[in-house]
Amino acid sequence: MIERRPFAELGHADHGWLNARHHFSFANWHDPKRMGWGALRVWNDDEIGPQSGFPPHPHNDMEIITYVRSGAITHQDSLGNKGRTGAGDVQVMSAGSGIRHAEYNLEDEPTTLFQIWIESNSRGKPPSWDAKPFPKGDRSGKFVVLASGVEGDEGALPIRTDGRVLGATLKAGDETTYELGAGRHAYLVSAAGDVEVNGVKLSARDGAAIKDEAVITIRAASDAELVLVDTL
């Protein structure tokens, strides 16, 4: 089963400094049919204006993954962490027992990113934050694990959930596959480029909710940048 969720039909909130699209119910946008997909709870497609951002606010017991598409985001938190994550790179915050953080675009250009929230497997663990570069050339033609709680996923940023976040880049005409285990849920977004997913056409920034598909085959109609979440 593959359900296409067109970009134009996503939830929308324009706050001036923030122009956000919501794949799932979030803040003031509510759709009872889109409360999550497996353990995936939030996938926001955000554009953050220059010299603006999210002031300090709290989270707990959630795995929050930020995939920067263009520009950069600067993170600060109550643990004393501070870091700048640029385009194509990833940061992960395990909110655990509680953490306050701020996310600022300190650049002179807009920053675009995906913010992804996945339910934690455990509650009340110490919070943590980390970031890592993932060169796009290293994921050319194949999926690379960016963040994972699955044993054996070496090189990925750790998250506390039975799931993973993956990225791939495809040239027009290229094809790649991903094996989805029984009972698992996948959600795929093309950050750029048009693709076909098991024959279902997706335009850039559309979402695809996928389950009961043993193998996912993605073929690029144009150069594409893919982000995939696989959870229970």
Q: Where are the domains of the chain?
A: 2-231
Q: What is this structure's pTM?
A: 0.97
Identify the pLDDT of residue 23.
Answer: 98
Q: What is the pLDDT of residue 82?
A: 98
Nearest CA to 116 out of 136, 135, 91, 84 is that of 91
H or E stretch including 14?
A: strand 11-14
pLDDT value for 47: 98
Reported in sequence order, the residue ranges of 33-184 that DSSP labels E, i.e. its strands, are 40-48, 52-59, 62-70, 72-77, 82-86, 90-94, 99-105, 111-119, 128-132, 144-148, 157-158, 163-170, 175-179
- What is the rounded average pLDDT of the residues 125-149? 97
> What are the structure tokens assigned to 196, written together?
């076909």
Q: In this structure, what token pair is assigned to residue 159? A: 């998250």
Give the model's pLDDT for residue 211: 98
Q: Looking at residue 8, what is its pLDDT?
A: 98
Q: Report the percent of the chain where pLDDT is more than 90.
A: 100
Q: What average pLDDT does the segment 78-94 reach?
A: 97
DSSP annotation of 37: B
Let me know if domain 2-231 sits in CATH 3.40.50.1580.
no
Residue pLDDT, tens place only, 32-60: 999 999 999 999 999 999 999 999 999 99
Q: Quick one: pLDDT at residue 91? A: 98
Band of residue 24 on the pLDDT scale cut at 50, 70, 90: very high
| CA–CA dist 186, 232 (Å, integer) | 9
pLDDT of residue 133: 97
3-class secondary structure, 139: helix
pLDDT for the residue 69? 98
Separation CA 73–CA 214 (nearest Å): 36
Residue 26 CB: number of other CB atoms within 10 A? Answer: 20
Looking at residue 81, its pLDDT comes to 98
pLDDT tens by residue, 156-189 = 999 999 999 999 999 999 999 999 999 999 999 9
Q: What is the mean pLDDT of the chain?
A: 98
Rounded to whole angstroms, the Cα distance separating 230 from 232 reads 7
Mean pLDDT to the nearest integer, 123-129 = 98
Mean predicted confidence (pLDDT) in 67-83: 98
Q: Yes or no: say if 225 and 158 are a contact pair by the CB < 8 Å rule.
A: no
